[in-house]
Each structure stands twice: as C-alpha cells, then as structure tokens.
Amino acid sequence: MALVNVKTKEVQVKIVYYGPGRGGKTTNLEYINKKYRERLKTQMVSLKTHDDRTLFFDFLPFDVGKIKGFQIVIQLYTVPGQVKYNETRKVVLGGVDGIVFVADVQLNQRKRNIESLNQLYENLKTHQLDLFKMPLVMQYNKIDLKNQNIPIIPSRIMQKDLNSHLKAPAFEASALKGGNVIPTLKRIVSMTLASIQDELF
C-alpha cells in the first residue's frame, strides 16, 4: 500500500521487480542506478550471496519530486530468484503498490516464467492482494540474445504464456544493455501513481 504522510506530504510507493531467478531483475535496478546516479542521490542496496545472486532483495529508493504538492518517493525492490527463498519473496511483496514481472526470453526458461508468475499470484494472495487488480508491467528481458544465436521465445508466445489473462502492458527489453529499462520503469511508476491519484491528488 502506498504510504502517505499527510503531515509532511510525502508519498512512498513500493514497486517490486518479480520474476524467475537470473531473469535480470537486479540488472534492471543496476542499470537504473547507474544511469541516474547523479539524480538519485540515494544508494542502491544489494544484499548478495557470494556468487553474486540476490540474497534477500535489492533496494533502490529515489525521490522523483513533487506532484501537486506531494513529495513522491519511489522504492524499487527485487526479490531473490531461488526457489528456496519463497518466504523471503513473500515478505518483500508486503505492501507492494506496483509490480514489474521480469521474464527471461530464453527458450529454456519458458516453464520457469510461467511458474514464477503463478507463484506471484499465490504470494500476493497471502497479503490479500489480487494480481489482476494490481498495477503491473511485463518485461520480456534478454531480447539481445537473439543476436547471439541463443534460442529465444518469440514475443507473441511470451504474450500468450504470460499475458493472456493479465493483459498488462509489455516491453521487450535488454536490462544488460539498457534497452527499454527506463520505459518499463516509467510505465510502472505512472500506472502506480495513477492508481492512487483519485484518493490522493
């Protein structure tokens, strides 16, 4: 839930990057952090295992400025990908306002994408949240691999696999090279803010 401090007029919005492990969630945040280093004035916090995988989560907060007198603070989180960390994933999802589902377009990841999305639905339910009613953006990541002769899933199939029911806006992306990372982020931020605009502004 978006937290609003009526006294200080500050709004905190929590956006979680969710998806199968190694899909590129951390890479999304790292790109954002690098690109807007000067502007963010905040630090990215990464809690990593020794082999460079997300242990608990990554966290990148930043202040986008004022909208109608409210100071807007966006907090980006990622969840750990490994199957065994599902409890942590649930905790990180607590109070979420918007979700970017980062799917991996490599052909051999197809089932894991679907499973991860199904799990997201279940995990949100434990917080009494309904994925179908959440601001959500799909990201089909690692699209750059098509130039490296790695079999990838055509986006039409990605849409069918993941977006048949949700019908969320979707982006092909390359988090590694920065392709469509920012458009994805802008989209989820604006959807999320729009979802609370009536009550707030």
Binding site for ligand GDP (CB under 6 A): 19, 21-27, 54, 78, 81, 141-142, 144-145, 174-176
Judged by CB under 8 A, the residue of 28, 75, 78, 109 near other proteins is 75
- C-alpha span between 116 and 67 (Å, rounded): 34
Of 33, 46, 54, 106, the one binding Mg ion (CB under 5 A) is 54
Q: Are 77 and 95 in contact (CB under 8 A)?
A: no
Query: If contact means CB under 5 to 8 A according to the sort of partner, which of Mg ion, other proteins, ligand GDP, none does residue 61 touch?
Result: other proteins
Q: Minimum distance between the CB of residue 195 and ligand GDP, rounded to whole angstroms?
A: 25
We find the least distance from the C-beta atom of residue 59 to other proteins, in angstroms, to be 5
Task: Tell me the closest approach of the beta carbon of residue 185 to other proteins, in angstroms.
Answer: 7
Site for other proteins in 112-141 (CB under 8 A): 113-114, 117-118, 121, 126-128, 131-136
Site for Mg ion (CB under 5 A): how many residues?
Answer: 3
Residue 41 binding: pick among Mg ion, ligand GDP, other proteins, none (C-beta 5-8 Å cut-off by kind) = none
- Is residue 118 within 8 A of residue 19, CB to CB? The reply is no
**Would you call 55 helix, strand, or coil by DSSP?**
strand
Q: Does 5 bind other proteins (CB under 8 A)?
A: yes
Minimum separation from the CB atom of position 19 to Mg ion (A) = 9
Select from other proteins, Mg ion, ligand GDP, none the partner in contact with residue 43, using the beta carbon and a kind-dependent cut-off of 5 to 8 Å.
Answer: other proteins
**Which DSSP letter does residue 66 get?**
E
Helix/strand/coil for 108: helix
CA torsion 171-175-123-107 (nearest 10°) is 80
Q: Is 164 in the site for other proteins (CB under 8 A)?
A: yes
Cα dist from 155 to 110, 126, 135, 185, whole Å:
12, 31, 21, 19
User: Can you tell me the distance from the alpha carbon of 181 to that of 185, in angstroms, rounded to the nearest whole number?
Assistant: 6
Q: Are 47 and 57 a contacting pair, CB within 8 Å?
A: yes
Give, for 160, the enclosing helix (H) or strand (E). Answer: helix 155-163
The Cα angle at residue 80 between residues 47 and 186, in degrees rounded to 5: 90
Contact partner, 186, from other proteins, Mg ion, ligand GDP, none, Cβ < 5-8 Å per class: other proteins
Interaction site with Mg ion (CB under 5 A): 25-26, 54
